[in-house]
Amino acid sequence: MFDPNNLSFRKLELGDIPLIYKWLKEPHVHEWYDREKQNSLEEVTQEYTKYITGEDPMDGYIVYSEATPIGYIQKYKVSDWPEFAEALGYGVGVAAIDIFIGEAEFTGKGLGSIIIKKFLKEIVFAEEGITACLIDPEPENKRAIRSYEKAGFKYIKTLDVPPDPGFTYLMEIKRGGSNNLTSSLAAPAISYEESSTYTTD
């Protein structure tokens, strides 16, 4: 079992952009993450620089396994992206996250759900006033969906969210339930009832 204590998050910095660019080009990432974009170095630099300067209200982090950067995770408030919030039917107090593990050898080992649980506890629900968190994989991304279920997310609905192509398989986790980081890390799977809430205790 991977020890979550070996994982950490560091705020995205300008010096990380070449690594993000490289990861977005990895086939296992490109298949599911921002594949509709060009992801040229110029485009990636422009987009992620706005996250770092705060021009775009996106909170990006590099995920580390011990000293090795292995992926990227970001959170935002859906109310900061009004068209998106309206399409989803969510508003103030609701966060959303996106994730990719950039280093292919770190995928498929159960790390995704562990990273997400830790991120929910340490970053997302550490912010008072956040009552729920969403994640929006494509319905065909079965590995991601399973990983998010293991992290405690519950399926809400499938919907079309323009301008993104295809459909979104919307999942939610609420603050304040029984899904605690340590116990559920060891559990083989999280039941439907357990998965709908989250506690920061």
Ligand X SMILES: CC(C)(COP(=O)(O)OP(=O)(O)OC[C@H]1O[C@@H](n2cnc3c(N)ncnc32)[C@H](O)[C@@H]1OP(=O)(O)O)[C@@H](O)C(=O)NCCC(=O)NCCS
2 interacts with ligand X by CB under 6 A:
no
Binders of ligand X in range 27-86 (CB under 6 A): 28-29, 32-33
Binders of ligand X in range 122-151 (CB under 6 A): 137, 141-144, 146-147, 150
25 interacts with ligand X by CB under 6 A:
no
Binders of ligand X in range 148-187 (CB under 6 A): 150
Tell me which stretch binds ligand X (CB under 6 A): 47-55, 99-107, 154-162, 190-198: 99-107
Nearest to 95 by CA among 130, 56, 51, 136: 130
* Amino acid at residue number 5: N
Taking the complex as a whole, the smallest distance from the CB of residue 128 to ligand X amounts, in Å, to: 27
Contacts with ligand X by CB under 6 A: the residue count is 22
Residue from 101, 120, 171, 173 touching ligand X (CB under 6 A): that is: 101
C-alpha 140: how far from its chain's center? 17
Of the pair 150, 174, the CB lying nearest ligand X is at 150
Of the pair 14, 104, the CB lying nearest ligand X is at 104
10 interacts with ligand X by CB under 6 A:
no
100 interacts with ligand X by CB under 6 A:
yes
Of the pair 27, 54, the CB lying nearest ligand X is at 27
Binding footprint of ligand X on the chain (CB under 6 A): 28-29, 32-33, 99-101, 107-113, 137, 141-144, 146-147, 150
